[in-house]
Amino acid sequence: MDYQKILFDIYSELKGTDNKGKVASYIPELANINADKFGIHLLTIDGGSYGIGDFNERFSIQSIAKVFSLSLAYKIYDKKLWGRVGVEPSGNPFNSLVQLEYESGVPRNPFINSGALVICDILTDTLKNPKIDVLNFIRKLAGNESINFNYKVAESEKKSGYRNAALINLMKSYGNIKNDVDEVLDFYYHLCSVEMSCNELSQSFMFFANEGVHKNEKILNGSQTKRMNALMQTCGFYDEAGEFSFKVGLPGKSGVGGGIAAVHPGKYTVVSWSPKLNRKGNSYLGMKALEVLTTKTKLSIF
Ligand code: GLN
């Protein structure tokens, strides 16, 4: 398979198209990005590395980071996690409050904001220095020590994070948050502010394609890895998870920085970045690029 040519074709086909998306501005600092950035990187399980466009430029990974925090919590807590957070698609936006009240403060899944906040609470209980420990975990997976938080983005989100504050306080009232809400929010905002390139993200997602193994280290066991992929498949795109399955057919995770990381277990990882988002908060062009990729390669999991 000539992946480089396929990426080139996708890029040429989509670069000039009318991008109907909009850059996220509810976190003011994210609005400063050049909206025309566009990159894709694909890494095969046997090490083939293919990139096009801005694939080496770092961007705000936002909710893609929830996959790393969940992996770390899953590694430590295993099945005990599922008493605090569910594994069902929410069918609601990532920052929705309504369902959380109906369901007594137990988030539907770990990828909506409420669920990710519960995971941050659990890691705050367990880790000595949660921010640094998660950052080091990400650095190890990506093989790059210079990956870091963007403190301006974290601060900007803290200042404008009214909905996240509402979500965490509601969960605290139901007893599903153990630690101080400001401490957990601070951890969450830093986590979301991590900056990585498509290339680095595709490296760091490779263990999901490789039965949980990173280099020679088992990060998650085979069953946990399958379940992480199942969660990405059913919940990774919030109320657009069905659409992503329908059009792309890979487990994956999006972020409001415009990134999408996806996995074909046993075959490859692929990451796209284009900052303009559709109305569900997923990258407009990224969704299209991955749809064309799995169509041209005939490599989706279905
Ligand atoms: N930090 C963002 C928020 O909490 C993450 C949302 C996302 O990427 N979907 O709103």
- Name the CATH topology of 63-193: Beta-lactamase (3.40.710)
Is ligand 1 within 6 A of the CB of residue 255? yes
CA of 256 to the centre of ligand 1 (A): 6
Q: At 16, is the pLDDT very low, low, confident or very high (cuts 50, 70, 90)?
A: confident
Q: Is 111 in the pocket of ligand 1 (CB under 6 A)?
A: no
pLDDT tens column, 261-292: 999 999 999 999 999 999 999 999 999 999 99
**Residue 48 CB partners (closer than 8 Å, separation 6+):** 3, 42
Q: Specify the residue with its C-alpha closest to ligand 1, atom 3.
A: 113
Strands (E) across 194-243 are located at 195-196, 213-214, 217-218
pLDDT tens-digit readout, 117-173: 999 999 999 999 999 999 999 999 999 999 999 999 999 999 999 999 999 999 999
Task: For a ligand 1 pocket test, name from 94, 193, 277, 280 the mutation site with the most ligand atoms within 8 angstroms of its C-beta.
Answer: 94
Per residue in 44-57, pLDDT (tens digit) is 999 999 999 999 99
Domains 3-58+197-297 and 63-193 share a fold: yes
Instruction: With CA atoms as reference, report the closest residue to 274 among 52, 77, 2.
Output: 52
Helical residues (DSSP H) of 46-149, grouped into ranges: 65-77, 98-102, 113-126, 130-142
Per the CATH hierarchy, to which homologous superfamily does domain 3-58+197-297 belong? DD-peptidase/beta-lactamase superfamily (3.40.710.10)
Are 64 and 201 within 8 A, CB to CB? yes
Residue 191 Cβ inside 6 Å of ligand 1? The answer reads: no
Centroid of ligand 1 to alpha carbon of 4 (angstroms):
31
Which is higher by pLDDT, 15 or 266? 266
Q: Using CA atoms, how far apart are residues 200 and 147, in angstroms rounded to an integer?
A: 9
Residues 217-226 have pLDDT tens digits of 999 999 999 9
Domain residue spans of the chain:
3-58+197-297, 63-193
Instruction: Tell whether ligand 1 has an atom less than 6 A from the beta carbon of residue 195.
Output: no
Q: What is the pLDDT of residue 175?
A: 98
Ligand 1 atom at minimal distance to the Cα of residue 281: 9
- Is residue 22 a contact partner of residue 276, using CB atoms and an 8 Å limit? yes
**CA gap 177, 170 in Å, rounded:** 9
